[in-house]
Amino acid sequence: MNANVIVPDLNPCGGGERLTLVTMQALAQMGIHFDLTIFKSPDISRLENAYGKNLVSVMKNIRKINLIDIIEELKIQLLQQEKQKQHHQINYDYDITINTHPDSAPYFYPSFSKNNSIIYCHYPAAKYHIESENIGYLEKDLEIEAISNISPYRNNKNSSIARSKNHVKTVNNGYKLSKTTIKEYFRILKYGYWNLMRNSTIVTNSEFTRKVIVDAFGTDYNSIHILSPPIDVDIFRNVRLVLEQDNDDYDNYKRNDTVIVISRIAAHKELENAINFAKILNDRNIGKGMIIVGNLYNYFEYYGYLKQMVIDLGLTDFVTFEINASLDKLLVLMRESKVCFSPRPEPFGMAILEAMAAGLIPIVPSISGSAEFVPKQFHYSTLEQAAEIASSAFHLSKAERLHISNSVNKFSSSHYIERFELIVNKLL
């Protein structure tokens, strides 16, 4: 039995990339040999820093790494299909394909079907990016280099958050690529993504996302499997247990009235909402500060924009950033905080669950995937409402924090692997 695991890039080190590594663990436990198809070579030291050596060691099971250019791969297939009007192509030597991030890797072969292709759709964002011909999707998600030299995070060329890259000669109002080429890219991507979504068994993270997929593609509701992403519950629960062992009154021993925001530093994560939230907290004298912890990979301009926003709002003593923190450093910061804030409606929210396991109180949007597992009393509709929740959350008892921590058991990595194996075995 041969499998192909497809992911665009593991190096961003977010929740989706962790899910990919745990999926590899599941395949290894099942005795299924697998290759990895990817756009960029994995940086093992970066992965170990983010996830620890134990999880990353599963990559030793990879037989072969296929580095591909997604546009070229899809272009060849599309041209062959248009010319030949038939559904056989170059040999595809895998019994089953698992694509853990189809929106950023719309990798499709005409031989794919619901019986041999599984995709884990975190959220069908690519549909809207492709339909609107969003240049940012090409540049950031697919890493097509230097498409535009116009920054969305500056108002003029003298801005302190201007691009650090050298300017390139551009055509057609700021785009390096011609309008014709850009349109052709989106036509190719539409071919890959639409066919992948319609010819695969779809797995997703929440009821929230399942409804979005149904609305987007008209997919049969009951054919979409909900499988919550894997959380290493024990690692994060140890944060809580260490505090319990250190002092009976652990809520007030090492924790302080700090809000932690755990998110990849990327524009679609809407971290400006967190900074606006921090402004409200600071103005109302709620809490001692906010720390934003996240991996920074492609969105360097956006990070500069956020830092400038902190300065402009007078929050330099209230908001700090911890960029590319190691797993050990993240655990320390969790140990010192009381509240974890989600700045946007996440399709799921792995970081929120990790924080809950560590004994932090989650505050999440009322309409989101996170709202499906976070108690209703911690849902917000406005940032002002979130501030009121935070004010109360800082004073919750040890028993209430323990209850939150104990509620995450069903999201463990072992549970994910068990459920994933059931889906694969049903297909095979």
pLDDT, tens digit only, all 428 positions of the chain: 899 999 999 999 999 999 999 999 999 999 999 999 999 999 999 999 999 999 999 999 999 999 999 999 999 888 877 776 555 555 788 999 999 999 999 999 989 999 999 999 999 999 999 999 998 899 888 888 646 555 555 443 333 333 333 333 344 445 677 888 899 999 999 999 999 999 999 999 999 999 999 999 999 999 999 999 999 999 998 876 665 555 555 444 568 899 999 999 999 999 999 999 999 999 999 999 999 999 999 899 999 999 999 999 999 999 999 999 999 999 999 999 999 999 999 999 999 999 999 999 999 999 999 999 999 999 999 999 999 999 999 999 888 999 999 999 899 999 999 999 999 999 88
Same domain, 351 and 385: yes
SS3 24: helix
Task: Note the pLDDT of residue 231.
Answer: 93
Task: Note the pLDDT of residue 252.
Answer: 47
Same domain, 336 and 391: yes
383 located within any domain: yes
Same domain, 209 and 331: no
Same domain, 264 and 404: yes
DSSP character string of 52-120: -HHHHGGGGGEEEEEE--HHHHHHHHHHHHHHH-SS--S----SEEEES-TTT-----TT--TTTEEEE
Same domain, 211 and 244: no
What lies within 8 Å, CB to CB, of 318 at 6+ separation is 278, 281, 282, 289, 290
Same domain, 217 and 71: yes
Same domain, 104 and 76: yes
Same domain, 198 and 284: no
8 A C-beta contact, residue 101 and residue 8: yes
Walk across the sheet containing 33-38 and list its strands. Answer: 62-67, 33-38, 2-6, 96-99, 117-121, 201-204, 225-226
Domain that holds residue 111: 2-125+183-230+413-427
Task: Note the pLDDT of residue 145.
Answer: 67
pTM of the entire predicted model:
0.87
The one-character DSSP state at 151 is -
Same domain, 107 and 7: yes
- Whole-number Å distance between alpha carbons of 193 and 52: 33
SS3 277: helix
Same domain, 265 and 377: yes
DSSP character string of 335-373: HT-SEEE--S--SS-HHHHHHHHTTPEEEEESSSSGGGT
160 located within any domain: no
Same domain, 187 and 239: no
175 located within any domain: no
